[in-house]
Each structure stands twice: as structure tokens, then as C-alpha cells.
Amino acid sequence: MSAPAIDTLSTATAGKPEAPVKHSRVAERVTVNLSDKSSLALSRLAALTGDTKTDAINKALQVYALIQDAQSNDGEVWLKESAKSDLSRIRFY
């Protein structure tokens, strides 16, 4: 049996950051086929954050699940890319 992995997810409410939430889970090994665009994004993300590719994928899946949960409850997720940019709604179809 694999050793448990620790997943960390941080959320913010009304612009106030919350402490990371840690969940203890059994790790699962999965093989995926990434598109060229996803492969480049993963490499860029790992370089930008210093995370391993595994950690980057785990965090990305948690964010994707958070967005899907919001959408399924008629909620919305918005992103402001810079101080000068407008808000844009994030949607996955």
C-alpha cells in the first residue's frame, strides 16, 4: 500500500486569505496523456512555482474541482489578471 499523501488547498473569502487546508489521502498513481498545450503549461507552472509536476497537477485538479463545484451550485469564479485588468469570469464547459 502507498504512503499517504498530503493535499493542500487554500481558499480566500472576500479577499481575505485563509490558512491552507490539509487533507491526508492515499496516493493514487495515474497515467495521463497531455496535449502539447497542457504539457507546456505544466512545465511553465512547475518552473514558475518551483513545485514538482506532480504537485502542480494535484493543485490544478483541486482548483478545477473548486470551480466545477461553484458552477454546479450556480456560483461564479472571477479572475483579475493584474491591477489594471478587468475582472473576467472563469468557466469550464
What confidence tens digit (pLDDT) does each residue in 5-64 have?
Answer: 444 444 444 455 555 555 556 688 899 999 999 999 999 999 999 999 999 999 999 999
Q: How many domains does the chain have?
A: 1
Q: Which residues of 46-85 are buried (b: 16+ CB within 10 A; e: fewer)?
A: beeeeeeeebbbbbeebeeeebeeeeeeeeeeeeeeeeee
Range(s) of the domain holding residue 62:
4-90
SS3 71: helix
pTM of structure: 0.64
